[in-house]
A and B are shown apart, each in its own frame.
Chain A
Amino acid sequence: MKILVSAKRVSDPNARLHVAADGRWVEGDVEYILNPFCENAIEGALQLAEAHEGTETVVVGIGDEDTARFLRQGALARGIDRALLVNADEAAIDSDLIARIYAAVVAKEEPDIVLLGKQAVDCDSNQVAQLLAEYLGWPQATFASKIEVVGSEVRVTREVDGGLEVLGLTLPCVISADLRLNEPRYASLTGIMKAKKKPLDELELDDLGLGAATPKVRVVAMSTPPGRVAGVMVKDVDELILKLRTEARAI
């Protein structure tokens, strides 16, 4: 079996972000982290590989040498076998173009399972796995909290509104990882040492036939939402009830 995962770097959502006067986002001195859902996908691939001997795991990332750093430290050091870096300006691509890039990588690599994070916590779009599945014409299971191979079928438990849904997918398929799929492991010291020697191949958009591809959506302006003003502290339950009844008229 062959599993393809991805690694996207995101600016730390806990960092303070600033918007310039022209409405374009300015990064400032933002720290980058590996998207938490990508960590779940990487861990999911490693667990499947451990359970099924002879499984190869490959990670793909889009960006520049800083993305390469995350491919090595976040994926190869944890145990993924090899990496692919697609050189592109992350700021100039949208979810749709990411999915088309991944689809071209899938055509080259021919994985049985593509396991992605359900969303990147910077743009929060929650689209790429679904877009990719449709571009490939493959079945999908999004928001996975459990993945098991049962015979020729991949059985995926999904976290959906109102409860848990189980789908059975035939291979090849696309799965997106939710947070409770697993607890991502830390890279071991030997893993970090090994990662330095693992293959990391670079691809250009031209190699994938996407040199002239353009995004379908553009962010034309950014702004900061109006903040909420902190209210008052009440001294006890009686005052809380009084305020909720007479001031807020909420109960």
Chain B
Amino acid sequence: MGKILVVIEHDHGQPKKVALATVSFARQVAARRGDSIEFAVLGSGCAGVAEALTGYGATAVHVADNAALAHPVAAVWAKVVSDLAKAIGATAVAAAATSLGKDGLPRVAVRLAAGMASDVVALVDTKAGIAFRRPMWAGNLLGDVVIDTPVQVISVRASAFDVAAPTGGASPVQAFAASVDAGRAAARFVSFEGTASSRPDLNEATIVVSGGRGLKPERGGFKVIEPLADVLGAAIGASRAAVDDGYAPNDYQIGQTGKVVAPQLYLAIAISGAVQHLAGMKNSKVIVAINTRDDEPIFKVADYGLQGDAFVVVPELVQKLKALRS
């Protein structure tokens, strides 16, 4: 009977969908082992997040509310999470494999003398207990990882789990007095420059419109897919090639080394479909590919392929979708 501590990432006073997907992961582990689940909320002025989490079946919601946790560097974040995990006797610590989770969880693992599995997509029952299934080699292989330490640390690929629904009841909210040792960190937050967008977050969107190197700036670039994203209420993504060439900002990148998404609908516009891009989107429910060449690898994973010039096809698609909606 262990205890799983789920670190909840939040934004604008609400838990992120990726955090609620991590809760689903924790419920699956708990159901197999008879574990209980507790939540950790770190931030500055984050009491509202804790309130929003009380109906999700946790035996406690721990809140570390501290000005130093508004933009925590990894060393500080990891210290708070591991101090809390020790205080409650957690046997597992899980968080979404976002840039925050990837940055901080390995440090938590060291502080808890724990083994860690990254980017877990499923659980597998083995003779040695639960194995954590995770993609390797750009998702070409799946590895089942057994963690041999008494405490286990897991980063969760949120797109592989459903967003958890409330189960009713109430979880007591408890303040955790975080010790934030600034000297130990020797790192300071200088600035954050956000990619301005009124569109949904890539990690949270149900539809993603993604552009590739075929969207040449001299012909209008990514501007051609913006109206399509708007009419569908979609997030915009990009291939690594498009980001490398400066057609799109870095946090649009979808693939092995960027974001991994699995929306209901993924539209790949002028993307060839390199292995490392497919690793970031091939688990989408429905995939549409639009490309001038019909022999590109993207068509091997697409449910619907359309051979054509994006700068002609996409405006036509937008116009006809708008006509349908009106």
Q: Which chain A residues numbered 126 to 179 have a C-beta less than 8 Å away from chain B?
A: 126-128, 130-131, 133-135, 137-143, 145, 155, 158-170, 173, 178-179
Give 23 pairs: A residue, B residue, CB < 8 Å, sorted on A.
A94-B115, A96-B115, A121-B137, A121-B276, A124-B119, A124-B136, A130-B106, A131-B107, A134-B75, A140-B107, A159-B99, A160-B103, A163-B251, A165-B192, A166-B192, A167-B187, A173-B187, A222-B141, A230-B302, A231-B287, A233-B299, A234-B305, A248-B303
Which chain A residue shows the least CB distance to B133?
A223
A155 to B303, CA, bound (A): 45
Q: Are B145 and A124 in contact (CB under 8 A)?
A: no
Contact (Cβ within 8 A) A233 B256 = no
Check B326 for interface membership: any CB of A closer than 8 A.
no
Question: Closest CB of chain B to A6's CB: distance in Å?
Answer: 16
Q: Which 3 A-B pairs have CB atoms at the shortest separation, nearest pair first?
A: A216-B115, A139-B187, A130-B106
A218 interface hit (Cβ, 8 Å) = yes
* Chain B contacts to A: CB under 8 angstroms: 71, 73-75, 78, 98-100, 102-107, 109-111, 114-119, 124, 126, 128, 131, 134-149, 184-195, 201, 203, 207, 232, 240, 243-244, 249-251, 256-257, 259, 264-265, 275-276, 282, 285-288, 294, 299-307, 313, 316-317, 320-321, 324
Distance, CA A165 to CA B191, complexed state (A): 6
Could you say which of B119, B145, B184, B190 contacts A219, with CB atoms under 8 Å apart?
B145
**A53 proximity list for chain B (CB < 8 A):** none
- Chain B nearest CB, measured from A66 CB (Å): 19
* In the complex with contacts A95-B116, A142-B102, A162-B320 CB distance below 8 A: no
Tell me the interface secondary structure of chain A in the complex.
Answer: mixed
State how many angstroms separate the Cβ of A216 from the closest Cβ of chain B.
Answer: 3
Closest CB in chain B relative to A154 CB, distance in Å: 9
Complex Cα distance, B103 from A143, in Å, reads 9
Q: What residues make up the interface of A, taking CB atoms closer than 8 Å to B?
A: 11, 13-14, 17, 19, 23, 25, 37, 94-96, 99, 118-119, 121-128, 130-131, 133-135, 137-143, 145, 155, 158-170, 173, 178-180, 215-225, 228, 230-234, 236-238, 240-241, 243-244, 248, 250-251
- Known: A130-B107, A131-B107. Contact between A225 and B139, CB under 8 A? yes
- B106 surroundings in chain A (CB, below 8 A): 95, 127-128, 130-131, 134
The 8 Å CB contact of A220, one of B146, B264, B304, is B146
Nearest-CB distance from A92 to chain B (Å)?
13
Residue in chain B with minimal CB distance to A233: B305
B146 touches A217 (CB 8 A): yes
CB contacts (< 8 Å) of A251 on chain B: these are 207, 232, 265, 321
Contact indicator B135/A232 (Cβ below 8 Å): no
Is A240 a contact of B317 with CB atoms below 8 Å? yes
Contact of B256 among A124, A138, A225, A243 (CB under 8 A): A124
